[in-house]
Each structure stands twice: as structure tokens, then as C-alpha cells.
Chains A and B, each alone.
With several copies, the nearest count.
Chain A
Amino acid sequence: MAPVIEARKLGMVYPDGTRAIEGVSFSVEEGESCAIIGPSGCGKTTLLFIFSGLLRPTEGIALIEGKEVVAPPKNAALILQNYGLFPWKTVIENAALGLEIRGVKARDARKAVKPILRELGLEGFENHYPKQLSGGMQQRVAFARALAIKPRIMLMDEPFSSLDALSREKLQNFLLELWMKERMTMLLVTHSIEEAVFLGKRIVVLSHRPGRVVKVIENPMAGSVEFRNRGEFFEKCREVRRSVGAT
């Protein structure tokens, strides 16, 4: 079976001459999860933007479900690094936006996202504006918006980086359970080694800018909540830390 997400020698040079990534190749199979880890500024966000159809790579091809990405894929949800929320929309309006854009009536869309907001601990904040929320709450709203459209592919740019330790683990567990239930394909950018090991069945380590693939680490044990407490988890973390340190 063809991989759902595939990068073929992707390269990106910004118009101002900044070379963000170079010759990046990797792939993710249907229903699998892949974590991308690399130092700050190495082009992780750039890579995700390419797969979201928001940027065209200057070299190589990005494929989703075997087709070159030329527009935002309909069955993929993107969670942005700085939340990507709209300051002029309330929490519930932000969360329901993906559904609305897919043609669901505003009222139904809001009804549909209510349980998701509850699950993410945002009940009671439906009519707040993002500015009125702390950073972590904003990130959770962004997460709610992505989940609302029940995506088959999730592209995530450091989705938990603004969350406190407890909420983060809770949300990681929540995401993992969701993934095991829905079996959507996940591409997750992170700079937390623990997060990469906990959530990524495959871990792609990028070098400093321009980002290149240093190593692809297979991590078949990922995919259960208990993995976090096992010795193998710490083992894997150490392995990834070594690769990251080598960049």
C-alpha cells in the first residue's frame, strides 16, 4: 500500500534566500503516526506548511495519498504552532469554524463542538475571546477546532508546547486514544523528545537549518498509554536524545 504521507527530496528556499529545508524524504503509512523532531528554526513548520498545501516546495514533491499536494487536503486538519485562532471569534466560533467551512450550518456546528470543548476542559469559556484566555487554553481551542472536522490526517505543529505538564500528558493520552480509535494518520512536529517517543511510531530527526533528515528511528512500541511507564520508553528517549544531540 502506498504511504499516506510522503516527502520526496523536499527542499524549500524562501524568496529572501533563506534555505529552510533540504532534501527531506520520509513517509508515513495509513493509520500510522510520525513525529518530527529537530532544533529551533530547522524548518519543521515549513515542512508542515508544505504538507498542508499552504506553501509549495521549491524542490521535490510532497504527496498525500499518492497525489501531489497542491491545495489544503480536505481530509487533513492542521494545528498551528501559535494556535492560529482568530481573535475576533469566540472560543465556540473558533472551534466550529472548520465545520462551518465544510458547509455545516453555524448552529449545528456549534452544537457539534460542545462535547469536544467539554472534553478539553473549555466548558464555560464558549463565549470568551482568545485574548481572554491563557496560552494553554488557546492551544486547546485550536485542538478542538481540528478535532471537530473528524480528520483522517492530522498535521500538528508543536500542539502541546504551551500546555502545562499535567494537561499535556492528559492531552497526549487523549490524542493517543483518539488515534487508536480512529486510526487517522498523524504527522506531529515537536521539540519534546518524550512526546516524540510517546506519540510517534516513526521519529524523523532533522538537523540544524537547513533541515535535513539525520535519522529515521522506528518506534513500534508507541501506541499505548502504558508505554510511558515502561523501561523501553526511557531507552527510546535516550536513543532519540543521542541522535538529536548529534545534529
Chain B
Amino acid sequence: MPGSEEKRWGYVVAGAVLFIIWHVLAYFVKSPALPYPSTVFAAFIAQLGEGLAIHMAISACRAIYSILLALSLAIPIGLLCHERKIDRFIAPFLYLLYPIPHIVLLPLIILLFGIGDVSKVILIGMIVFFQILVTTRDAARNIDEYYVYSLLSLGADKKDIYRHVVFPACLPKILTALRISVGTAIAVLFFAESFATTTGLGYLIMTAWSRADYVSLYAGIVAMALLGFSLYMALEVIERRLCRWV
């Protein structure tokens, strides 16, 4: 999706339109809680040199680790739900556990995993896990049986079915789920980085918020948006490589 000249223009236009809307809104709202975008971007650029870039990198690492952790568990479990028998066993757990607001389990996570980076990654990972699992499971259950028949007739065993049918057939949907997860992971950073750390964008935003420093707050939000956007772009590249057939 990036790379093409036209697409790049789309982003420039969208960015400009958002900038103008923001500016006009700020003009009418006239409140320190909504600073002008020009002020925010100036602060963003200034802060980049003063460590914002490092905070972004740290947040990126935490988000990516969390997503990888979630993926490594959610994909196998989700794909297994292709088999009705296994699905019938897993689905009730999913249905019972998914709608819990997992952030509330923070005390339990701290209890079990301490207050280090592990806890942060687990907190984000847990939330993302369920989103990927729900999507992967839905995809795995809706695979046309015809494909399975076709492969079985070639003498395939279960492993082959997962490798040649279930996984590739679910891949586009998994990538959709990943796109959603990127947003979620970054949003959850905001909570995960509010304890036992002085690094990361979540920390920055929370700090700015608590001293009502809205310019820094929005600069942090811009950094998050930028981080999310980069991860999105990375996903697009991955998708174009893996799902050429769509």
C-alpha cells in the first residue's frame, strides 16, 4: 500500500485535512485542553530530540513483544477450532473469558508476574490474545470443507491440513485481526506503562495528563499515532507478501 505515489498523496491529503479540522476545532473550543496542532507539532519535533524518540522505541518494543506473544498462542488455538470437537471444548472458555475487561486483572498480574516488563507485556498480550483468537477461530470454522476434502484425497494427515488449508485460508483474517490488535496494543500501552516505569509513550502521556500539560499530552498522542501508523504500514507490507493470492 505504501510505495505507490498515489497512496502517498492520500496520506498527505488526509494529514492536511485532519490538521485543518483540528485547528478549526481548537479555534472554536478555545481551551487549554485542545491546543493548536501547530503548537503540538512544534513540541513534538522539539521533544523528539529530548528523548521522545527513545520512548517511542521502547513502547514499540513492548507492543511488538506483546503482539508476538499473543500471536504465538492465539493462532494455534484459533486454528485448532477448525475441528468441531476441539472448538466445542474451547468455545465456552472463550465465551466466558473474553468479555472480561482484562485490565481489571492488573492486580492479579502484578501478583503473579511482578511489576517488570514481563507484566506489561502479559497485560497487553492478554488483551490482544483474545482479539486475535476470536477472529482466527471465526476464520477457521468457516473454511469451505471442499478444500479439506481436496487435500485429504491427496493422502494428507491432520498436520498437512493445518499447513496447506487451515493456516493459509485463515491468514487474511488473521492479518485483519492483527491490524485491530496494533491499535489495541498501543491503547493498552497507556495503562501498562503507568506503573513501575519511567519510559514509554504511555508514561509520557500519563505524566503530561496528570500535570494538565496538554501540549505534551497531544505530542505523546501524535507519537502514538505515528507508531501505530508505522506498525500498520509494516503489516501492509507483510500482507502483500503473504497474501498475494487475494
Instruction: Consider the complex of A and B and state whether they touch directly, i.e. have CB atoms less than 8 Å apart.
Output: yes
Any B CB within 8 A of the CB of A98 = yes
A129 engages B150 (CB within 8 Å): no
- Which partner residue on chain B sits nearest A52 by CB separation? B153
B146 engages A88 (CB within 8 Å): no
Q: How far is the CA of A53 from the CA of B150 in the complex (A)?
A: 11
Mask: chain B, 118-147; 1 = CB below 8 Å from A; 0 = not: 000000000000000000000000000011
Q: Give chain A residues whose Cβ lies under 8 Å from the Cβ of B152.
A: 52-54, 72
Q: Interface residues of B toward A: which range?
A: 10 to 19
Q: Which of A49, A76, A87, A97 contacts B245 (CB 8 A)?
A: A87
Any A CB within 8 A of the CB of B241 = no
Known A74-B155, A101-B160: A84·B168 in contact at CB below 8 Å: no
Mask: chain B, 155-195; 1 = CB below 8 Å from A; 0 = not: 11000100011001101000000000000000000000000
Any A CB within 8 A of the CB of B111 = no
A84 engages B149 (CB within 8 Å): yes
Q: Give chain B residues whose Cβ lies under 8 Å from the Cβ of A85.
A: 150
The number of residues on chain A lying at the interface, defined by a beta carbon within 8 Å of a beta carbon of chain B, is: 26
Any A CB within 8 A of the CB of B244 = yes
Most chain A CB within 10 A, of B147, B154, B156, B160, is at: B154
Q: Which of A80, A82, A86, A129 contacts B153 (CB 8 A)?
A: A80
Known A86-B168, A129-B245: A54·B154 in contact at CB below 8 Å: no
Q: Which of A52, A82, A88 contacts B171 (CB 8 A)?
A: A88
Q: Give chain A residues whose Cβ lies under 8 Å from the Cβ of B149.
A: 49, 52, 54, 80, 84
B155 engages A88 (CB within 8 Å): no
Any B CB within 8 A of the CB of A111 = no
Q: Which of B155, B164, B171, B243 contacts A86 (CB 8 A)?
A: B164
Q: How far is the CA of A78 from the CA of B154 in the complex (A)?
A: 7
Q: How far is the CA of A131 from the CA of B236 in the complex (A)?
A: 21
Considering only residues 95-112 of chain A, those with a C-beta below 8 Å from chain B are 97-98, 101-102
A84 engages B147 (CB within 8 Å): yes
A86 engages B165 (CB within 8 Å): yes
B154 engages A80 (CB within 8 Å): no
- Which partner residue on chain B sits nearest A148 by CB separation? B154
B155 engages A102 (CB within 8 Å): yes
Q: Give chain B residues whose Cβ lies under 8 Å from the Cβ of A53.
A: 152-153
Considering only residues 185-214 of chain A, those with a C-beta below 8 Å from chain B are none
**How far does the Cβ of A116 sit from chain B's closest Cβ, in whole Å?**
15
Q: Give chain A residues whose Cβ lies under 8 Å from the Cβ of B146.
A: 80, 82, 84
Considering only residues 42-100 of chain A, those with a C-beta below 8 Å from chain B are 49, 52-54, 72, 74, 76-78, 80, 82, 84-89, 97-98
Any B CB within 8 A of the CB of A149 = yes
A-B pairs with lowest CB-CB distance, top 5: A84-B150, A78-B153, A88-B168, A129-B245, A98-B154
What are 9 residue pairs bridging A and B, where the CB atoms are less than 8 Å apart in the complex?
A53-B153, A72-B155, A78-B150, A87-B245, A88-B243, A101-B151, A101-B156, A129-B245, A149-B154
